[in-house]
Structure 1
Amino acid sequence: GEREGERERGDIYIYRYLGRERERKRERERERERERERERERESGRGRVRQREREREGELEREREGEREGERKGDIYIYIYIEREREREREREREREERERERGGGGEGE
């Protein structure tokens, strides 16, 4: 009989313990919910600030992307620059030939 009573008391303790645990869990949940609510209020108040932060993060990301893109573009720009230089060189060459013709053979076409 005594052991029976101990077991019962043990069960009661376990039951109370579980009850307290459940209560603590519920309390933590409520606290978390309150925290979320405060966060939401902060968000609405600081929504613009957060948006700006997010935009800034986006800008940084775009900048990083831009740097990567810039490296690719840089290669392209270098290529374009070289092409332009070649074009200018050909242009100068044509002008030189033009001047040579004007100077050298004034009456060639007549």
Structure 2
Amino acid sequence: MGKGDRKTAKGKRYNCSYGNARPHVTTKAAGTAAAPVVKKAAGKTVAKKAVKKAAA
């Protein structure tokens, strides 16, 4: 069972393939809910300083 064997994880890595021995990693697990997106509070804003213009 070496790197030429396509039924092992080592062989899958060598052949750059996926399957039961080397499942493809997904971002969302099956059967679980995604985390809710947290939005920033709309009330808090950063005030910008006024830019002074030079007298001509």
Structure number having the greater helix percentage: 1
Which has the greater radius of gyration? Answer: 1
Q: Same fold (TM over 0.5)?
A: no
Q: Which has the higher contact order (CA 8 A, sep 6+)?
A: 2
Q: TM-score, normalised by structure 1?
A: 0.22
